[in-house]
């Protein structure tokens, strides 16, 4: 009964005044917990493997990609604070109350995809540790890791906001301490001579730097833009915009940047680690650990990954309700959890390689999410007046039922963006149609092919297009008093 009483009943609605409280500083905890993940260590190795860049280029990519993408998350958080409604409800102002079903469905796919990826990684990492420490059967170790990881995610994601805010404080604190322990134990593994040799052996490919930066944008921050307001909506409306952005960016960026840089140092120092990361980006990190720290490593790996998966499961429930699911958020989250479980089973037991399908997922959904994010952020920036709550739920209100202009812009930005990305996963030949505009920048086999610049193109087209096409309409909406 106590657990049932803990389930949050708020969904796509505006939060009542009595439920608002706290300060912008409280945003540090969920965003830090969601991004204190050893996956970021694996990104360091992927930067070197996929883009063949130097250490200093990896540092630049980590900082620029992480901070810029979470800057978009910060702007989205302002919208939540100003209106006290979740992101996919606020998106109706730009796309129409009914028209928002398209970006809502895209967001739903992204959330479910990410929660599946994170639980699968936690399962694989647990398997690696259990097999090495306890000499447990491979499949049995996968089952144990799967049950623990999925169970914790479902528990937090279904119960909702208050549970998440409490759990994330503990997750953040424990994970940071254990992550610092991992860094301390593996610091001696850094071979500074090899790092220096790596720098000397690279001429500094601009395409590689841009590709790594875009990978950081899509793999670290961009996927959170469509959920940012879900957590800031509980703040009082007089909370400082600068504080909301500052605590969001600080909480979400600090640890990932440090971990990506440290992961790059480790991978540059060990060719064995660098090669193993593509199969299991988190579990591969155990290869340089002493046996006695493997259990603490498993704890930090699971907690760090599920911290993000909990937020994804929570927001996926909201996204599903926002596009017409006729039940409450926690029931929608249960459906999402079932899909997540099926996807995790496929990745953990049947996929021969993790990185290739992961990159295909990031890019294929990353382009339309970049298009939506740019339109939404531009919309938030242009609005000088708070959203009118009732009209966000009324197709006859000032935001209308269908905003054809924004929907066509979303489609156009996505189509253009997909033309400038490529897919390297041999098992996903159905994605070979991507990159139809690559001949303009050297072709699918040219130096710019792996950079996937279509994500940046989609952001630019969506942002500039919405400002040019919708400024007058927004001014008219805000002047309307009916």
| Residue 273 token pair | 């680690």
Its pTM stands at 0.84
Report the alpha-carbon angle 117-256-197, nearest 5: 105
Average pLDDT over the chain, rounded to whole? 82
Cα–Cα distance measured from residue 245 to residue 203, given in angstroms and rounded to the nearest whole number: 36
Dihedral sign for Cα 183, 185, 188, 190, please: negative
Decide: residue 243, CB within 10 A, 0-12 exposed, 13-18 middle, 19+ buried.
middle
The string over 66-93, giving b where at least 16 C-beta atoms fall within 10 Å of a residue's C-beta and e elsewhere, is bbbbbbbbbbbbbbbbbbbbbbbbbbbb
- Note the pLDDT tens digit of each residue in 166-193: 666 777 778 788 888 888 888 988 988 8
Q: What is the pLDDT of residue 64?
A: 96
Q: What's the CA dihedral at 169, 170, 175, 181 to 10 degrees?
A: 120
Report the alpha-carbon angle 325-327-333, nearest 5: 80
Cα–Cα distance measured from residue 163 to residue 156, given in angstroms and rounded to the nearest whole number: 6
| Residue 60 token pair | 């630049």
**How large is the angle between the packed helices 294-322 and 161-186, nearest 10 degrees?**
150
Residue 397 near residue 477 (C-beta atoms within 8 A): no
Domains in the chain (CATH in brackets) are: 15-354 (1.10.4160.10)
The candidate with the shortest Cα–Cα distance to 161, out of 360, 339, 315, 364, is 315
Q: What is the pLDDT of residue 459?
A: 96
Residue 49 near residue 277 (C-beta atoms within 8 A): yes
What is residue 221's DSSP assignment? I
The candidate with the shortest Cα–Cα distance to 87, out of 471, 372, 464, is 372
Cα–Cα distance measured from residue 266 to residue 394, given in angstroms and rounded to the nearest whole number: 54
- How far CA 9 is from CA of 97, 181, 251, 312, 476, in Å, comes to 22, 39, 27, 17, 35
Dihedral sign for Cα 97, 99, 101, 104, please: negative
Residue 355 near residue 276 (C-beta atoms within 8 A): no
The candidate with the shortest Cα–Cα distance to 59, out of 74, 75, 48, is 48
What is residue 477's DSSP assignment? H
Cα–Cα distance measured from residue 53 to residue 208, given in angstroms and rounded to the nearest whole number: 6
Task: Please give the average pLDDT of every successive group of 10 residues along the chain, which has 482 residues.
Answer: 48 71 86 80 84 89 95 93 87 94 90 82 78 75 76 64 64 80 88 80 75 92 87 87 94 92 89 64 72 76 75 77 70 73 74 67 88 95 88 91 96 96 72 90 88 94 96 85 51
- Residue 278: Cβ within 10 Å count: 19
Report the alpha-carbon angle 427-115-215, nearest 5: 60
Cα–Cα distance measured from residue 398 to residue 400, given in angstroms and rounded to the nearest whole number: 5
Residue 13 near residue 87 (C-beta atoms within 8 A): no
Q: What is the pLDDT of residue 444?
A: 86
- Note the pLDDT tens digit of each residue in 215-229: 999 988 898 898 888
Cα–Cα distance measured from residue 5 to residue 411, given in angstroms and rounded to the nearest whole number: 42
- How far CA 300 is from CA of 82, 247, 294, 309, in Å, comes to 35, 23, 10, 14
Dihedral sign for Cα 216, 217, 218, 221, please: positive
């Amino acid at each position: 009964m106590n657990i049932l009483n803990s389930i949050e009943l708020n969904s796509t609605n505006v939060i009542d005044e009595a439920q608002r409280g706290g300060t912008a500083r409280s945003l540090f905890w969920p965003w830090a917990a969601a991004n204190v993940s050893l996956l970021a260590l694996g990104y360091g190795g992927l930067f070197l493997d996929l883009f063949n860049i130097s250490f200093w280029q990896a540092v630049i990519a980590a900082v620029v990609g992480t901070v810029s993408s979470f800057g978009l998350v910060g702007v989205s958080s302002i919208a939540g604070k100003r209106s006290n409604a979740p992101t996919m409800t606020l998106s109706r102002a730009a796309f129409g109350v009914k028209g928002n079903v398209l970006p809502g469905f895209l967001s739903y796919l992204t959330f479910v995809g990410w929660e599946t990826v994170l639980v699968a990684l936690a399962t694989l990492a647990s398997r690696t540790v259990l097999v090495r420490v306890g000499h447990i059967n491979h499949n049995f170790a996968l089952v144990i890791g799967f049950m623990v990881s999925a169970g914790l995610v479902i528990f937090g994601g279904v119960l909702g906001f208050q549970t998440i805010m409490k759990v994330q404080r503990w997750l953040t604190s424990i994970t940071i301490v254990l992550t610092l322990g991992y860094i301390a134990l593996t610091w001696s593994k850094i071979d500074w001579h090899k790092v220096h040799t790596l720098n000397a052996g690279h001429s500094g490919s601009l395409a590689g730097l841009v590709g790594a930066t875009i990978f950081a944008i899509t793999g670290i921050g961009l996927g959170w833009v469509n959920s940012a307001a879900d957590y800031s909506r509980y703040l009082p409306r007089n909370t400082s915009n600068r504080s909301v952005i500052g605590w969001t960016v600080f909480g979400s960026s600090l640890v990932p940047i440090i971990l990506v840089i440290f992961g790059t140092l480790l991978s540059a120092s060990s060719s064995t680690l660098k090669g193993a990361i593509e199969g299991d980006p988190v579990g591969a990190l155990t290869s340089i650990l002493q046996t006695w720290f493997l259990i603490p490593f498993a704890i930090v790996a699971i907690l760090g990954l599920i911290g993000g998966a909990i937020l994804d499961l929570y927001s996926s429930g909201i996204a599903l309700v926002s596009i017409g699911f006729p039940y409450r958020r926690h029931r929608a989250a249960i459906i999402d959890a079932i899909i997540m479980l099926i996807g995790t089973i496929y990745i953990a037991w049947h996929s021969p390689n993790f990185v290739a399908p992961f990159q295909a997922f990031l890019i294929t959904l990353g382009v339309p999410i970049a298009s939506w994010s740019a339109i939404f952020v531009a919309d938030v920036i242009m609005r000088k007046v708070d959203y009118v709550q009732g009209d966000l739920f009324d197709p006859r209100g000032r935001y209308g039922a269908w905003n054809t202009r924004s929907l066509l812009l979303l489609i156009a930005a996505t189509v253009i963006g997909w033309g400038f990305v490529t897919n390297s996963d041999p098992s996903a030949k159905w994605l070979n149609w991507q990159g139809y505009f690559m001949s303009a920048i050297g072709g699918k086999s040219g130096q710019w092919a792996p950079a996937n610049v279509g994500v940046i193109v989609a952001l630019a087209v969506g942002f500039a297009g919405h400002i040019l096409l919708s400024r007058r309409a927004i001014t008219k909406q805000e002047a309307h008093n009916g």
